[in-house]
Amino acid sequence: MDEQELRGNGAHPIIHFQHADGSAFPEEDCELLKVRTKGRAIRVLDDAFTRKDGSIMPVAYSAAPLLNGTNVSGVIVAFRDTTEERAERTRVQRELNALTWVGRIREALDEERFVLYSQPIVPLRGGQASVELLLRMLGATVKSSHPEAFSPSPRNTG
């Protein structure tokens, strides 16, 4: 999208009509539109613009009114794509969550808060019955944690 496509047109219906999750972004909630109507600059660190191909791009931007004397004749917007920053924040948050669980597991081991349960497995047609062993980690308040919370299966990692 080049500046010619936006010049003279409102940014909201072209690039700013939806949130990052794809839900509608009502004009009355749009801070970018208020730059022109209220005549003051803004800085937004977490928003989204819609690309020409319809994909949504996470952005951070600054916008300032373009003044013609005392009248606002337009808005200048400088933005940057924050896709990589957002991915990095997500990766770091995942690592922090994992480290938090490592500490909880070590604490539970030290305090002997793991409990082993057995669960019978009975085939519907013939075959030998067997037993599945289940490990539960008791919380500090003796509430049991589901094993997937502290030991995700390979299909749930990633």
Give the CA distances from residue 12 to residues 28, 34, 103, 105, in Å, rounded to whole numbers and listed in that order. 10, 11, 46, 49
DSSP H helical ranges for the chain = 3-6, 11-15, 31-38, 83-110, 147-150
- Residue 145, pLDDT > 80, answer no
- Residue 157, pLDDT > 90, answer no
Q: What is the pTM for the complete model shown?
A: 0.57
Are 138 and 145 spatial neighbours (Cβ–Cβ below 8 Å)?
yes
**pLDDT at res. 4:** 45
Domain covering 3-81 in this structure, CATH number: 3.30.450
**Domain residue spans in the chain?**
3-81, 85-156
Which pLDDT tens digit goes with each residue over 28-87? 888 888 898 899 999 999 999 998 898 999 999 999 999 988 888 888 899 999 999 999
